[in-house]
A and B are shown apart, each in its own frame.
Chain A
């Protein structure tokens, strides 16, 4: 699976959009981009995934660049409850289910 690079930490003001970047320059054509988050010692929570098109669900939007070498997770109106570690994971669709977690980005949403 391709390696991902994320900033260690980010701050965001409550009510503003949180834009979390992820670099995955060695991504292959059959690899999906997944985002999970972990709120302090709770089980990780699935947010969204995509292959090459932009995706949106009730939690967030995922913007993948045309060359697929990077992506951005957007939380449109961050709240204090969005404070968490966000993990960007790249996984091939035919490589089994295991998720390889990196260090993630610690997002702090401040009032």
Chain B
């Protein structure tokens, strides 16, 4: 158990809909990262937040957005869903913002299926 929690574990929804994925980082970790893993693209970094502020952006679509709240939990919002958005979405956390060596701890993921 990494200490990172993600809800829900599974999500099935239809094209065009909007969903919210939730992540709680390990106690004491200030950074939250979101990754997407699909069969054809592998594990891809989406976005990072550190202590409430956006820190880095990867290949995140404009239909996707995220935020980190004062209690440090984070939410990833996916809208206008398409079949290709079906994937595993992982959240990870680390103590520091990514300056200096630091390991990331990953949650169990949310499996999103868009039908």
Pairs A-B, 4 closest by C-beta atoms: A97-B98, A43-B106, A101-B43, A46-B103
CB of A100 within 8 Å of the partner chain: yes
Is A65 an interface residue, CB under 8 A from the partner?
no
Q: Mark B37-53, 1 if CB is under 8 A from A, else 0.
A: 00000111100100000
CA distance A94 to B100 in the complex (A): 6
Closest Cβ of chain A: how far from B78's Cβ, in Å?
Answer: 19
Partner of A98 from the list B90, B98, B111 (CB cut-off 8 Å) is B98
For chain A, what secondary structure do more than half of its interface residues adopt (helix, strand, loop), or is it mixed? loop
Residues on the B chain within 8 Å of A38, using CB: 43
- In the complex, the answer to whether B43 meets A98 with C-beta atoms within 8 Å is no
Per-position binary interface string of chain B over residues 83-104, scored 1 when its CB falls under 8 Å from any chain A CB and 0 otherwise: 0000010101010111111111
- The docked-state distance in angstroms from the alpha carbon of A58 to that of B51 is 31
Residue of B4, B48, B97, B103 touching A49 (CB-CB under 8 A): B103
Query: Do residues A98 and B101 form an inter-chain contact, with CB atoms below 8 A?
Result: no
Contact A43 B109 (CB under 8 A): yes
Beta-carbon contact of A93 and B103 below 8 Å: no
Residue of chain A at shortest CB distance from B98:
A97
